[in-house]
Amino acid sequence: MTAQAPPTKDELVELLASYGDRPPGDVPDRVDSLELAWIIHSMEERYDVELDLDDVQLARMVTLDSVLDVLASALGGEPHDRPAAHR
């Protein structure tokens, strides 16, 4: 698979805001299991890939930043709104 830039944190917040029908400012940093399922489904649709995430990766995906880290790894890219040295 070709490396693809994962979503930015702002894009992830917008996605979760639309899922929860709430303003972006009301999206918490923690991600629940239904939100995580929505994120994974949305990323598979957006990038036309099947994300083959293992249990360890899924267990890590509890905050917006950790979701971005795992997505970056799964998509073969780096989060483009956070330098690698700061992860």
Backbone angles phi, psi at 37, to 5 degrees: -60, -40
Higher-confidence position of 74 and 81: 74
38, pLDDT greater than 90:
yes
Cβ-based burial of 84 (10 A; exposed 0-12, middle 13-18, buried ≥19)? exposed
Predicted TM-score (pTM) of this structure: 0.83
Residue 1 pLDDT greater than 70, yes or no: no
**Domains of the chain, earliest start first:** 9-75 (1.10.1200.10)
pLDDT digits (tens, 9 = 90+) for 12-27: 999 999 998 999 999 9
